[in-house]
Structure 1
Amino acid sequence: MEPQGVVGPAWRRQTRSEHRWLAVVVVLATIALQSLLPSEFVLRPGWLLPGLSTLLVVTLLLINPGRIGKHGRMERTVALFLVAMVSATNAASAVQLAEGILRATITDHPTSVLVSAGIVYWTNIVVFSLWYWELDRGGPARRASGTEQHPDFVFPQMSDPELAGKDWEPTYPDYLYLAFTNATAFSPTDVMPFRPWAKVLMMVQAVISLLLALLVVAWAVSALKS
């Protein structure tokens, strides 16, 4: 508890919750990118991901078109289901891409391989950014209510209040940056995971990103030699 008369940082007190619009835009843009994947890398039927994802996004916006509510259990359930569905679909695309590279069944389409790998890699970043955003301290609604005293992720601005203003608190772009740096460095950079689930989730993301990168590099070396 803060001493009387002392206002703590925004991430530790009750604040206004953030909008979901940026996350929705990123998800829809990523789904649009997924539509560019070759048919052999797409989970069948092809309309499943864009159709259900669009339906879930519309449902989220109908439930709460403004800021994320503090007690939106239905909203949170739909949001987590959307993230889980995109995660499963991208995992299927990654497996099919890896299988095509390992079995050398897609060597005649170098541009397709590189574009597909880039889309799967980016979607992996988006998927984990959404998981981090939805799970850290119980999600955006619970973070806004200030009910969780101990963070799952510690951002630099949280460990040293002098680095940011008193109204700073993590929002979706911070979690997108966390997912991006973890996917490219294969390890934490400036954001540290404190809870076991956060460490495991970051480890899983790093392993997936590393395997994708190694497979594409190995395929590129093999293609250059042939």
Structure 2
Amino acid sequence: MSHHPEPGRPGNVDSERLARIEALLAPAVTGIEEAGRRLLPAWRRVTKGEPRWPSTLAVLAAVALQFTLPERLAIHPEWLLPTLETALLIALVAANPYRIERGSTLYRWAGLVLIAMISAANGWSAVHLVIGLVRGTEGSDAGPLLATGGSIWLTNVIVFALWYWEWDRGGPVARIHAERTYPDFLFPQMQTPELAPEHWEPQFPDYLYLSFTNATAFSPTDVMPLTRWAKMLMLLQSAVSLLTVVLVVARAVNIFK
């Protein structure tokens, strides 16, 4: 037979005191937890997803640039890869039409396959352009040569921006859920948070800028790669960009002479 403390007895008084203490401490604990969350920079907290439209416009630009290349430098049939890329893009936009917030294994693989297809198409064009320049079968006219080289170079910038954006800390969906603590790229705002807005976190335009500066300077500028894969990816982009620019410009100069 169980016995319960009656009102006024020591056991009951202790329970009442404990309940009052917990009630008094609850707001303080909540405030401390909230302050702790605020001390963390936005890129390390759970936040809302970034806007969809910047990355969508970049993919559309890369697809459009494929149609500007000569037929001999494209994968045949010419319409196949752009059609598949557009279909995948539509599916990705349908899953997250306004902000990139919901993710799944299928969604992530669809994004990676889309970038891989654009990379394959541009890599094919770049390799065949370089082979043609070395053999002397490409570049009889400076104008079309510069236009072709420029399209390949610009697509290269977009492609690597997409790779950086998709892989840094597990991708855009993983970043907003703060699934990974350590970044793969160190942006200036991470080093000097007092000079950045309170809610700053890297979004696609930041990775596009990273890709552009790496393709023009052939080395890191203000954004530092921290992991080995990030360093190797930037190395590959610099090598492709340097090779394309040097060969195209050298051939164009010879034509002008």
TM-score, length-scaled by structure 2: 0.83
- Please say if residues 146 and 252 of structure 2, whose CA atoms lie closer than 8 Å, have aligned partners that are also in contact: no
- Counterpart position of 1:180: 212
- Counterpart position of 1:20: 52
Report the 3-state secondary structure (helix = DSSP H, G, I; strand = E; otherwise coil) of the residue aligned with 2:39: coil
Q: Structure 1 residues 4 and 108 mapped into 2: Cα distance closer, same or farther (>3 Å)?
A: closer
Report the Cα offset of residue 85 of structure 1.
Answer: 0.4
Deviations 1:22-81 (A, max 9, x none): 111111122112201111111111102211111111111222323223442211110110
The residue identity in structure 2 corresponding to 1:106 is E
Report the 3-state secondary structure (helix = DSSP H, G, I; strand = E; otherwise coil) of the residue aligned with 1:202: helix
- Please say if residues 185 and 224 of structure 2, whose CA atoms lie closer than 8 Å, have aligned partners that are also in contact: yes
- Please say if residues 49 and 172 of structure 2, whose CA atoms lie closer than 8 Å, have aligned partners that are also in contact: yes
Report the Cα offset of residue 5 of structure 1.
Answer: 6.5
Is 2:196 the counterpart of 1:164? yes
- Please say if residues 13 and 146 of structure 1, whose CA atoms lie closer than 8 Å, have aligned partners that are also in contact: yes
Is 2:242 the counterpart of 1:207? no
Residue number among 31, 46, 52 corresponding to 2:78 in the alignment: 46
- Counterpart position of 2:117: 85
- Please say if residues 141 and 255 of structure 2, whose CA atoms lie closer than 8 Å, have aligned partners that are also in contact: no
Which is worse superposed, 199-208 or 103-112?
103-112
- Counterpart position of 1:133: 165
The residue identity in structure 1 corresponding to 2:118 is V
Report the Cα offset of residue 2 of structure 1.
Answer: 9.7
Cα distance in structure 2, aligned partners of 1:93 and 1:188: 26
Report the Cα offset of residue 106 of structure 1.
Answer: 2.4
State how many pairs are aligned: 225
The residue identity in structure 1 corresponding to 2:240 is I
Is 2:88 the counterpart of 1:56? yes
Structure 2 runs not aligned, ≥5 long: 1-32
Residue number among 133, 136, 155 corresponding to 2:187 in the alignment: 155
The residue identity in structure 2 corresponding to 1:115 is A
The residue identity in structure 1 corresponding to 2:53 is W
Cα distance in structure 2, aligned partners of 1:210 and 1:60: 32
TM-score, length-scaled by structure 1: 0.94
Cα distance in structure 2, aligned partners of 1:4 and 1:125: 38
Ranked by relative contact order (alpha carbons within 8 Å, sequence separation 6 or more), the top structure is 1
Report the Cα offset of residue 125 of structure 1.
Answer: 0.3
CA-based RMSD: 1.7
Is 2:143 the counterpart of 1:116? no
Cα distance in structure 2, aligned partners of 1:6 and 1:189: 30
Query: Which runs of at least 4 in structure 1 moved beyond 3 Å after TM superposition?
Result: 1-6
- Counterpart position of 2:221: 189
Larger Rg: 2
Q: Structure 1 residues 4 and 38 mapped into 2: Cα distance closer, same or farther (>3 Å)?
A: closer
Report the Cα offset of residue 149 of structure 1.
Answer: 1.1
Residue number among 135, 138, 143 corresponding to 1:103 in the alignment: 135
Report the Cα offset of residue 174 of structure 1.
Answer: 0.1
The residue identity in structure 2 corresponding to 1:222 is N
Cα distance in structure 2, aligned partners of 1:17 and 1:73: 17
- Please say if residues 62 and 118 of structure 2, whose CA atoms lie closer than 8 Å, have aligned partners that are also in contact: no
Q: Sequence identity of aligned pairs in percent? A: 50
Report the Cα offset of residue 160 of structure 1.
Answer: 0.8
- Counterpart position of 1:8: 40
- Please say if residues 11 and 169 of structure 1, whose CA atoms lie closer than 8 Å, have aligned partners that are also in contact: yes
Report the 3-state secondary structure (helix = DSSP H, G, I; strand = E; otherwise coil) of the residue aligned with 1:111: helix
Which is worse superposed, 67-76 or 84-93?
67-76
- Please say if residues 118 and 159 of structure 2, whose CA atoms lie closer than 8 Å, have aligned partners that are also in contact: yes
